[in-house]
Amino acid sequence: MFYPFYYYFDRTYILIIIAAVFSMWASYRVQSTYSKYSRVASRTGITAGEAARRILANNGIFDVSIKRTAGKLTDRYVPAKGEIYLSDMDSTSIAAIGVAAHECGHAIQYHEGYMPLKLSHAIMPLCSIGSNLGIPILIIGVIFSIGGLIDIGIILFGLGFLLSVITLPVEYNASNRALKILEDYNILSEEELSGTKSVLRAAGLTYVAAAAASLASLLRLLILTNRNRD
């Protein structure tokens, strides 16, 4: 018997497609927004590296060093090393300064013992292991029809979604801290802060997209495993 093509189409892929489109849009948004404001130099002429050092010093943080890193938008704070890596360290653009301030926001969070950050760091190893083991355990459970293994696999895979959710307030808090610091320390003017805010908001969308993609994958697994049990 002939069946139309949509008969074979797994409708759960719609979840993945929607999440993938959202992720691509978020990635494009942050790249284009950063590119736009990377061409706008700060009126003070301060570089991203200089701004970062000033922010850290004003917050009593002297055990964190600023280092250059290759690539674009590869900026990050590594608390284990006490280092902030900036991809546009010598840039005077309001985009680079905003991103540098955001990473300093993470350093301040760590310095103050910000609970969501401590929680995300505490569960990160477990979530990483769980995400890697979740699918293999689930597949074994499905092959041998072992409901307990299926449940364990889903729970382990779901740890990745948990981490992405906890990461959201950490990132948005760091951005809010950055904007306030840049204003309070007169590093950027009110007009310049408007552009920097656009950059940090666009960057925040990438974390929302990551959480959405993780949720879509988890929902798809739940739907498929429930079908298998039925």
The residue among 7, 6, 102, 111 whose CA lies nearest residue 51 is 102
Distance separating alpha carbons of residues 84 and 207, to the nearest angstrom: 19
Token duo for residue 109: 């969070």
Q: Which residue has the tokens 């061409």?
A: 39
DSSP reduced 3-state for 59: coil
Whether residue 103 lies in the annotated active site? yes
Helix intervals (H) in the chain: 13-37, 48-58, 94-112, 115-143, 147-184, 190-229
Question: Which candidate in 103, 171, 183, 191 is catalytic?
Answer: 103
Catalytic residues: 103
